[in-house]
Amino acid sequence: MLRPRGSALAVAAALAVAATAQAAIVVTSTGTLATGSAAPPVKLELGAAAGVARYFSSFALSPNATSVGGTILGKAGADWYARDVVRLVNARDAPQTVLLAGTRVTSAQVEVAEWRVFSGSTHVATLDLRSVGASASVTLPASATYRLDLRLDLADGAGRHNVPASLPLGLRVGSGGIALTHATSAPALDVSTVEVPLRPLIAGSSAGANSTNGTASVNAPTLVLNTQNVFWLNNTNPSATWHVRLVLTSSASISDLSTANVGVAGTDHVKLSSGAVTQSSGTWQALAPGSSNAVHVASLEGLLFDGATLQLDVQLSDSASGASFLVSKLRLTLT
C-alpha cells in the first residue's frame, strides 16, 4: 500500500526528536561531606629552661603549640647546656612517629649545636645540626612526653656577625603516605659574653679572647703548702646569683705531686694528694651578685717532682641544681 511521502517525513522527524530527548536525560546523585578540624597528634610544650632569661629570651609557643619562637642566647667561647627547653607531647592513645629536622650549621664558629631527646633519664636520640641532612626520628609512645635539651658550643671568635641568624627546628608527625608537617620553628641566635669571666690574676696567666679559656703556670713550693690566687672569677651580674663548680677532666704527670687543691673563694673543689686524685669535682657554690671571687691553687711538690698539668671545666649555672650550665676551660701547669 502506498503512503503519501509527507507522512514518511513526519515519522522520521518524530523519531529524531525522541532520540534527542533521550540523550538529554542526565541522572545525578549528590552527597554531603562533613569537614572539621582536630588538634595535632603531637604538640609542643615549653620546658623549665625556656623561661630562664640567661639562656633564652621571649621563648613562646605558636597558638596551636606546633612551633616555638624567641631567641637563643649563646655565649662566645663557652659551651652551654640547657636542660628541658621544649617537650614533645603525644596527645593520642597510640604511638606516633616523629621526625625532627634542622638546617645544617656550617659556620666554624659553632662547634656544637645539638638537640638531645630524652625519655626521663634515657637518651633517645640526637639531632646534630652540624651534620649533613640533619634529622632524627623517634617513636613517641602513646600519651608520652619526651624532653628536648639543647647544647651549643661557640668558638672564641663567635659573634653576631658570623653565626647563623637562627637555628630552625622542623617537626613532622606520621610516616608513609600520611604525615603532618608542622610549621618550622626558627628561634633567633644571639651571642654575648659570659657574666662570670675568667680574668688573669698572676703573672703568666691568660684567659682567651672571651675570658672563657684560662691558662696559667703556678710554681709549686717544695717545703710548705702554699695557696695562690690564679684567676679572678667575678660575678658581673649585679642582681642575680651564679653557681660554680670545678670539675677535673684530665691530668698528667701527677705521680710526684704531694698536694694540689683547686677551688673558688676559699672552697676546694678538686683535690690531689700523694700523686692521686682524691676529689675530682666540687659541689655547686653560690657566687653572690656583683661579687669578687678568685680561683686558688694550694700546692706542694714532692722530691722528684718535674711538673704536672691539670685540665678543668669551670661550670656555671643559674641554679644550685646545675640542671643547665655554661662551661669555661681552665688549664693549670704546676712547676
Show Cβ contacts of residue 54 under 8 Å, excluding neighbours closer than 6 positions.
73, 195, 240, 318
Segment of 4-13, 175-184, 272-281 carrying the highest mean pLDDT: 272-281
d(CA 189, CA 178): 33
pLDDT at 85 over 60: yes
pLDDT tens readout for residues 181-223: 989 999 999 999 999 999 999 998 999 999 999 999 999 988 8
pLDDT tens readout for residues 245-266: 999 999 999 999 999 999 999 9
pLDDT number for residue 103: 95
Provide mean pLDDT across the span 160-168: 96
**Average pLDDT taken over every residue of the chain:** 91
pLDDT tens readout for residues 30-43: 666 555 566 789 99
Q: What percent of the chain has pLDDT above 90?
A: 81
Q: How confident is the model at residue 1 (pLDDT cuts 50, 70, 90)?
A: very low
pLDDT number for residue 40: 87
Burial status of residue 147 (CB atoms within 10 A of its CB: 0-12, 13-18, 19 or more): buried
pLDDT number for residue 13: 54
Per CATH, 42-192 and 198-334 having the same topology is answered: yes
Grid cell listed for 181: 608537617
Q: What percent of the chain has pLDDT above 70?
A: 88
Show Cβ contacts of residue 38 under 8 Å, excluding neighbours closer than 6 positions.
none
pLDDT number for residue 28: 66
pLDDT number for residue 35: 56
d(CA 66, CA 40): 8
pLDDT number for residue 39: 78
Count of Cβ atoms closer than 10 Å to residue 250 Cβ? 9
Q: Concatenate the DSSP letters of all residues of 173-202 into one string.
A: EEETTEEEEPPPB--EEEEE--SS-EEE-S
pLDDT at 20 over 80: no
Q: For domain 198-334, give its CATH number from 2.40.30, 2.60.120, 2.60.40, 2.40.128.
A: 2.60.40
d(CA 297, CA 330): 12
Provide mean pLDDT across the span 257-282: 97
- Domain 42-192: CATH superfamily is Immunoglobulins (2.60.40.10)
- Where are the domains positioned within the chain? 42-192, 198-334
pLDDT tens readout for residues 103-161: 999 999 999 999 999 999 999 999 999 999 999 999 999 999 999 999 999 999 899 99
> Greater confidence, 32 or 327?
327
